[in-house]
Amino acid sequence: MKLSKDTIELIKNFATINSNLLLKEGSKLSTISAQKNVMADVDVTETFPSFGIYDLNEFLAAMSLFDDPELTFSPDNKSVVFSQGGIGSYKFFAADASVLTAPTKEITFPAHEIEFDMSAALLNLIHKSGSVSRSADVSVIGDGSKMTVYVGDKKNATANAFSNVVGTTDKTFKVNLKVENLKMLPGDYKVSISSKKISRFKSNRSLVYYVAVEADSTFEV
């Protein structure tokens, strides 16, 4: 088996969410953070066996030893060998599923009251402005007429901040998220937010991220 560039990119992204990865038999990859506040799943072109990876960055580093590695999983799925053209090989052993933090079931996303489009440019600006303003918070605010994304100190109205109107709304709400939890690959996303305190970032492919909404959020919808 060889992994496509897209799949390698996705696995690298998943490593920023959790260093564990439990491959399940089939073509869907999923991960969840240790704090259980960020989850992601995606369909890929490859079909994997069941295989537990404790340190995903080490797995990626081992694979990077070769320019175009071939992955050969053992019949018992307890190891995988990376190799290329007879120039040596690297054996990587699986971890038991019991020691891994991994999703135990798929998320059924509840009915949502808030929806807007987030462009790749806006996602990038959220991260950059969070760094500039030294803010860990990003809020989606509805005032009954417009919907605004705000990055700054959510408790200080006079703090330096970035804002961008992303749509209109007849609802009033303030949804708080953590910038550090927006671990999406660069791209455009359809954002849906439920008053059940969960948000969904859906790309134009099968890639979906679920991010927990902070407890101090308010919904007057």
Work out the angle at residue 80's Cα, subtended by the Cα atoms of residues 78 and 85, and round it to the nearest 5 degrees.
155
What CATH number did the domain enclosing 61 receive? 3.70.10.10
What's at 47, amino acid-wise?
A: T
> With a cut of 70, which residues of the chain have pLDDT below it?
221
For residues 109 and 42, what is the distance between their CA atoms, to the nearest angstrom?
15
pLDDT at 221: 63
Nearest to 202 by CA among 192, 194, 193: 192
On whether both 126 and 215 belong to a single domain, the answer is yes
Work out the angle at residue 114's Cα, subtended by the Cα atoms of residues 110 and 116, and round it to the nearest 5 degrees.
120
Is residue 69 included in any domain, yes or no?
Answer: yes
Is residue 59 included in any domain, yes or no?
Answer: yes
What predicted TM-score, i.e. pTM, was given to this entire model? 0.94
On whether both 58 and 129 belong to a single domain, the answer is no
Is residue 194 included in any domain, yes or no?
Answer: yes
pLDDT at 109: 95
Angstrom distances, CA of residue 188 to CA of 52, 68, 120, 209: 31, 30, 5, 12
Is residue 26 included in any domain, yes or no?
Answer: yes
Q: How many structural domains does the chain have?
A: 2
End-to-end Cα, the chain, rounded Å: 50
Is residue 150 included in any domain, yes or no?
Answer: yes
Q: Specify whether the CB–CB gap between 144 and 171 falls below 8 A.
A: yes
For residues 79 and 218, what is the distance between their CA atoms, to the nearest angstrom?
48
Is residue 77 included in any domain, yes or no?
Answer: yes
Cβ neighbours of residue 122 closer than 8 Å, sequence gap 6 or more? 149, 164, 166
Domain boundary among 64, 99, 134: 99
For residues 185 and 40, what is the distance between their CA atoms, to the nearest angstrom?
11
Domain boundary among 99, 124, 144: 99
Q: Which domain holds residue 40?
A: 5-99
Q: Specify whether the CB–CB gap between 53 and 20 falls below 8 A.
A: yes
Domain boundary among 99, 132, 152: 99
Q: Strand pairing of 114-118 and 137-143? A: unpaired
Tokens found for residue 64:
């990077």
On whether both 13 and 90 belong to a single domain, the answer is yes
On whether both 26 and 78 belong to a single domain, the answer is yes
For residues 109 and 25, what is the distance between their CA atoms, to the nearest angstrom?
24
